[in-house]
Amino acid sequence: MKMRPGGPMIGPWPNISFGWRPSAVESLDRCRLPPKGSFEFVWLGIEVIQNLKPSSTMLTGAMILPVLMTLTFPSSSCEDEEPKLNAGLFNCVCEGMSCGGVDQCVGQQCFASLSINDGHPVYQKGCFQVYEQSKLTCKTPPSADQTVECCHGNLCNMNITAQLPPKDKSQQGTALSYSVRTLAIVVIAPVIVLIVVSMVTVLILRKFHQNQMQRLNAREVEYGAIDGLIASNVGDSTLADLLDHSCTSGSGSGLPFLIQRTVARQITLVECVGKGRFGEVWRGQWQGENVAVKIFSSRDEKSWFRETEIYNSVLLRNENILGFIASDMTSRNSSTQLWLITHYHEAGSLYDYLQHTTLDAVGCLRVSLSIASGLTHLHTEIIGTQGKVAIAHRDLKSKNILVKENGQCCIADLGLAVMHSQCTNHLDVGNNSRVGTKRYMAPEVLDETIQVNLFDSYRRVDIWAFGLVLWEVARRTVSNGIVEDYKPPFYDLVPNDPGFDDMKKVICVDQQRPNIPNRWFSDPTLTSLAKVMKECWYHNPSARLTALRIRKTLTKIDNSFDKLKMDC
């Protein structure tokens, strides 16, 4: 396309002119139109269109209308524009393809521009004829591929060379380097900190483990237990021997940790003898002796941990507390199992025993007195080097009491137990969220009035449950040839699996208690036991008997019965 000198510029600013003087019609004195009628303005508009240039005949009717509107309604800024148009014209240097061989042009403002065309810089210089054009172009901020610099004065653009702003590229590189550096710091710093913390933790754990092993080795070497255990053949070393020669003092405290793990790995499971919500109970064998292996389910891990903690930290040597041997976390059948190894009692739980066995007065007193003795041992704190803290069971029931070969009983399952020391006045409740058996819950537990920060409150809860167990035993005691079938407490008042609200209504609202059969009052032993039960079932916890008082009362009843037999 051919351009006349000073014609429109080819490039990013198509309306920039290079020295093109407007014709008389183009200037038109637009802002000083004569005060003629609208009709004359229309003809004047047509005259303007005809005088533009020959190629303007291509204008359509649609293009004529805006021109006429402009002529009829002049711009409100015309009065301000007139002085700016005539304020002064300057000679400007004209360089570039659009200058048509002319080196100067005349306009209201001079400029120098630089644009990037197909990757090559294109430098141009010229002038602006229209004020709005210069104002718009000169105030346009530079971009990455074009820029323009404007000035006022004759030949003011002669020494001006437009420059593209370099800061975009540098800022991009700076931002890129900054983002990479920041990303590296954000990623690497936590990794380094984690590695350092992990190394410190591993070193501390290794040091702790070494100290523990040294302490255990020193203790085991002193007592010669490890060598005797590893080298022994079947029958050479019994559990009783190990317990007697261990550094602990009794069946309740079990064996030292290292021996516990060794014993657990030498046990062979023989048969499953019971299942419950906690897991399973197996009869196992170690060195030819029967042991009970209680395998906890994964959801009852806290009970296993709590029972292990109590057995290993408290000296529980007592014939009426289930003898603890070992505890271990082992892997069987590609799964982790939590083992608690105790003495094995073939008769099973008191619950199972009473289902198919009846008792006479002697057997009833033997069972009752042994349970009371075990509960007294738990509740009593023994101060001294061979002492123990006071313990409340919190889940006493016939299923958690085992029957021994001699007819006595021992208390098991300390997974919910609470410990208390008078010396430090510290109450250790543990963190097990499991609650006791609802059927055996005391009124203060059901109506949530129990004082959870008072250790005596937990002991009194055990006394309530003991009274219910005593009722179960008495029902299976024969007197005058009569005996009732085994039934759990409140069997006639609540469903087989009672809910919390069921028990609360029966015990707290209706204040019901287990029924005492009339035949008991014809037997002196059962009459005395019925009196003890009632004193265990007081709604007011502080009015209930203590375990020690119950044991003394039962001992007195037992002695009276022996004296009566001797007199007969």
- pLDDT category, 261, cuts 50, 70, 90? low
Compute the distance between CA of residue 378 and CA of residue 467 in angstroms, rounded to an integer: 17
* pLDDT one-digit tens code per residue, 418-465: 999 888 888 988 876 667 899 999 999 999 999 999 999 999 999 999
pLDDT category at 297 given cuts 50, 70, 90 is confident
Three-state SS for 64? helix
pLDDT band at 554 (very low <50, low <70, confident <90, very high): very high
Q: Domains in the chain, ordered, with CATH?
A: 90-151 (2.10.60.10), 261-344 (3.30.200.20), 347-567 (1.10.510.10)
- Tens digit of each residue's pLDDT (9 = 90 or more) over 356-389: 999 999 999 999 999 999 999 999 998 877 778 9
CA 475/CA 452 separation, integer angstroms: 33
| Residue 235 pLDDT > 70 | no
Tell whether 2 is in a known binding site.
no
Pairing, β 335-343 against β 324-332: antiparallel
Task: Count the neighbouring beta carbons within 10 Å of the beta carbon of residue 519.
Answer: 15
Query: Quick one: average pLDDT of 398-414?
Result: 94
Q: Report d(CA 221, CA 12) in Å as an integer.
A: 96
- State the Cα–Cα distance between residues 298 and 305, nearest whole angstrom: 11
pLDDT in tens, 108-160: 889 999 988 888 888 899 998 887 888 888 888 888 888 999 998 899 989 88
Report which of 318, 275, 320, 268 is spatially closest to residue 289, judged by C-alpha positions. Answer: 268
pLDDT at 247: 41
- The mean of the pLDDT values for the chain is 78
Three-class DSSP labels, 124-156: EEEEECCHHHHHHHHCCCCCCCEEEEEECCCCC
| Residue 134 vs residue 483, higher pLDDT | 483
Q: What per-residue confidence (pLDDT) applies to 34?
A: 44
Q: Note the pLDDT of residue 257.
A: 57
**Candidate list 300, 328, 395, 413, residue with the active-site label:** 395
Amino acid 5: pLDDT: 40
- Of 41-45, 259-263, 310-314, the range with the lowest mean pLDDT is 41-45
- Cβ of 455: how many Cβ atoms within 10 Å? 24
pLDDT in tens, 169-228: 445 545 555 577 788 888 899 999 999 999 999 999 888 877 777 765 554 444 343 333
Asked whether the beta carbons of 349 and 402 are under 8 A apart, the reply is yes
Known catalytic membership, residue 395? yes
Work out the pLDDT band at 103, boundaries 50, 70, 90.
Answer: confident
Asked if the model's pLDDT at residue 254 lies above 90, the reply is no
Where is pLDDT greater, at 208 or 298? 208
**pLDDT of residue 279 exceeding 90:** no
Tens-digit pLDDT profile for residues 237-249: 455 555 554 444 3
Lowest mean pLDDT among 261-275, 395-409, 415-429: 261-275
What is the spatial distance between Cα 162 and Cα 125, in angstroms, rounded to a whole number?
A: 9
| Percentage of the chain lying above the pLDDT 90 cut | 40
